[in-house]
């Protein structure tokens, strides 16, 4: 095979440059299309994420509302139970106060009776017959 001439080499270089330019344009077009596809995917994902966030927010709000209602219900029931316990304690306190009063009165009566018996025994004369 014979050595290529300068003219042939120039033509070969020009052909290579045209091919490279064509490939460069194709790469640029593919890059633009790829950027467009990525942007489209980002937009769709952004919309999906926003819908999921809204749905989760609504679900969380619903759960919070139910929990608040349940807590309020429990607080109301406990408030009623506390009032009943307070009333029972108050009633027991009154009964204990009454029992203390009665016990003190009974103790005073026993003390007076024993004192009267002792006084009568000590100061009564044997001749009185009692």
pLDDT at position 129 is 52
> Is residue 27 within a helix (H) or strand (E), and if so which, with residue range?
helix 6-123
The SS3 of residue 52 is helix
The domain spans of the chain are 7-124
What are the C-alpha distances in Å from 76 to residues 39, 41, 68, 81, 102? 55, 52, 12, 9, 39
Contact, 124 vs 130, CB < 8 A?
Answer: yes
Q: Give residue-wise pLDDT tens across range 70-115.
A: 999 888 888 888 888 888 888 888 877 788 788 888 888 999 999 9
pLDDT at position 44 is 94
Q: Give residue-wise pLDDT tens across range 35-73.
A: 999 999 999 999 999 999 999 999 999 999 999 999 998
Asked if pLDDT for residue 1 goes beyond 60, the answer is no
Distance, in Å, from the CA atom of 129 to the CA atom of 70, rounded to the nearest integer, reads 83
For the entire predicted model, the pTM comes to 0.43
- Give Dmax over CA atoms of the chain in angstroms: 176
pLDDT at position 56 is 94
Distance, in Å, from the CA atom of 71 to the CA atom of 66, rounded to the nearest integer, reads 9
pLDDT at position 29 is 94
């Amino acid at each position: 095979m014979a050595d290529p001439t300068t003219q042939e080499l120039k033509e070969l270089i020009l052909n290579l440059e045209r091919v490279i330019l064509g490939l460069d344009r194709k790469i640029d077009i593919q890059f633009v299309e790829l950027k467009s596809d990525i942007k489209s995917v980002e937009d769709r994902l952004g919309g999906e994420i926003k819908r999921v966030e809204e749905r989760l927010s609504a679900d969380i709000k619903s759960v919070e509302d139910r929990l608040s209602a349940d807590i309020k219900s429990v607080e109301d029931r406990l408030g009623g139970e506390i009032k009943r316990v307070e009333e029972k304690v108050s009633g027991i306190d009154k009964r204990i106060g009454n029992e203390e009063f009665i016990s003190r009165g009974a103790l005073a009566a026993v003390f007076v009776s024993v004192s009267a018996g002792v006084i009568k025994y000590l100061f009564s004369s044997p001749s009185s017959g009692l």
